[in-house]
Structure 1
Amino acid sequence: MAEAGVQSVERALDLLEILAELGDDAGLSELSERSGLPLPTIHRLMRTLVGRGYARRLPTRRYALGARTLGLGEAAGRQLGAGARRHLARLARELGETANLAMLDGEMAVYVAQAASSHSMRMFTEVGRRVHLHSTGVGKALLGELPDAAVRDLADRTGLPAATEQTLTDVEALLAAVREAHERGYAVDDGEQEIGVRCFAVVVPGVPVPAALSVSGPAARVSYEFGERAVPLLHEVARDVARELTGS
């Protein structure tokens, strides 16, 4: 009996994850195709999720994530951010610039923790802010983990809006940049999100929700020579953050 209960929980979570990955509503047949579960099972599980507020049944008889998932996401972000903050503080202390932790949030990235620079001139980023992937260091680091087809698909869905004149708005240029980021192990935002600001970012390895760590500041201070010193430390701290987030 206990085993069946665990299986039901796993299946319900699978359906919620499918809805999250789709980024849109879905019908029973689509959920069945993606999950491999029979329609009666999906109907029963979705009815329970709707009743608890974790899913919504739309007038079209399709399903979408419910309002209660928002509260869980916000709470999880706060808790994960709190756990990572001391590691970010180390980055800010040793490098002298603002350090950020961002996580993938649908088709964008959201900043969940930050340690501010000691300098009076600070960056646009703030905890809770959502940003496009193509115009930020953390976003390009995350895109570098995806196959080209997934990057193209995301660009088709969201477009590539320009935040500055340096923003990559051509999908081929973006693909070249994220391939390079993946190969060298870090991404750079060179005035693409905010004029005069440079950012170095790396992926946090082995965490359930894709995440990236960054350090950013005015380009006059955050030079490419600064990056040579910053990137190894970013990788070291990213591993520490991964252990913090996974409890391993």
Structure 2
Amino acid sequence: MEKRIGEPEVEAAQRDTAPPGQVQSVARAFALLEALAAQSEPMSLQRLAERTGLAQPTAHRLLKTMQELGYTRQTAGREYGLGPGLIALGNRAAPELAVRAQPMLRELEELSQETANLVVLDGTNAVYVAQQPSRHQMRMFTEVGRRVLPHAAGAGKAMLATLSETRVRAILEATGLPKYTATTRTTVTELLRELRDTRGRGYALDDGEREIGVRCIAVAVPGATPPAALSVSGPAARITDEMVPQVVAALQSAAARLGGGAR
């Protein structure tokens, strides 16, 4: 039986000392921002300190500084959330591919009535860079800017399927293959087999591998650098097997158009 790769190491920003070349205070500030971005609600100072491994006085000083700059905010209940200053930064940081993808994301949502996403591979993470939310009240929603491990995401697997086996193995060695649900692929052998299937059929499928009850269909954007993928995600009850061929055809058409000028 193949050994499962373990959980990733603690982030550098959470260590007592920063690795060579890193400025410790900057790494710690971004650890706090990423912890806030991972939650849908504001967090207390104590919880943020625990989540990032920082001492509360250190976390408090950094949060207050970022609050003065507009990058964090404090609620009436003295909890912290992301600040409006990040919106302008995010808009400026959005890749050209994300801007060009917006009309196609709207088309995909119109066809499927489910959430359409553009995801890129940034190092070892799949990052959501653009989205058209579903019109349904109950819908799949992943914040733009959210980083997830690629092995348990449809878009992540679509992008991994475009890479060499050597590079895929290097990514998995760095990230691990943590199990989120009963259907998550947790060994390299399982995932490599699925990536071969993905290349053969021309699309990737996430069938509740990260979130139970959520299904995602994804297609890689040809020629994109860094690798990118378009996906449609929603409740498994609505994204049925009968719906898959129509969504795949739409994704492949959109990806081909987007890939015509991808960079």
Scaled by the length of structure 1, the TM-score of the pair is 0.67
Residue 106 (structure 1) aligned with residue 123 (structure 2): yes
The CA deviation string for residues 199-233 of structure 1, in whole angstroms up to 9 with x for no partner, is 00000011222100000110011012111111011
User: Larger helix proportion, structure 1 or 2?
Assistant: 1
The one of 80, 85, 89 aligned to 2:97: 80
- RMSD (Å) for aligned C-alpha atoms: 2.5
Shift of 1:242: 2.1
Give 1:58's aligned amino acid. G
The one of 207, 210, 221 aligned to 1:190: 207
The one of 55, 58, 80 aligned to 2:21: 58
The CA deviation string for residues 125-174 of structure 1, in whole angstroms up to 9 with x for no partner, is 12111111100000101111122222222222211012222211111101
Q: Secondary structure at the match of 1:224?
A: coil
Report what 1:178 is aligned to. Answer: 195
Shift of 1:241: 1.9
Extract structure 1 runs of 4+ deviating beyond 4 A: 71-74
Q: Secondary structure at the match of 1:232?
A: helix
Report what 1:226 is aligned to. Answer: 243
The CA deviation string for residues 85-125 of structure 1, in whole angstroms up to 9 with x for no partner, is 11100000011111000001110110000011111111141
Gaps of 5+ in 2: 1-11, 13-18, 23-29, 31-87
Q: Secondary structure at the match of 2:151?
A: coil
Shift of 1:76: 4.1
Report what 2:108 is aligned to. Answer: 91
Taking structure 1 as reference, are residues 245 and 149 closer, same or farther at Cα in structure 2, changes over 3 Å only?
closer
- Residues matched between the structures, number: 182
C-alpha separation between the residues in 2 aligned to 1:85 and 1:74?
A: 13
Instruction: Work out whether residues 203 and 248 of structure 2, in 8 Å CA contact, stay in contact via their aligned partners in 1.
Output: yes
Shift of 1:77: 2.3
Taking structure 1 as reference, are residues 177 and 150 closer, same or farther at Cα in structure 2, changes over 3 Å only?
same
Residue 203 (structure 1) aligned with residue 220 (structure 2): yes
Q: Secondary structure at the match of 1:93?
A: helix
Q: Answer 1 or 2: higher relative contact order, Cα 8 Å, separation at least 6.
A: 2
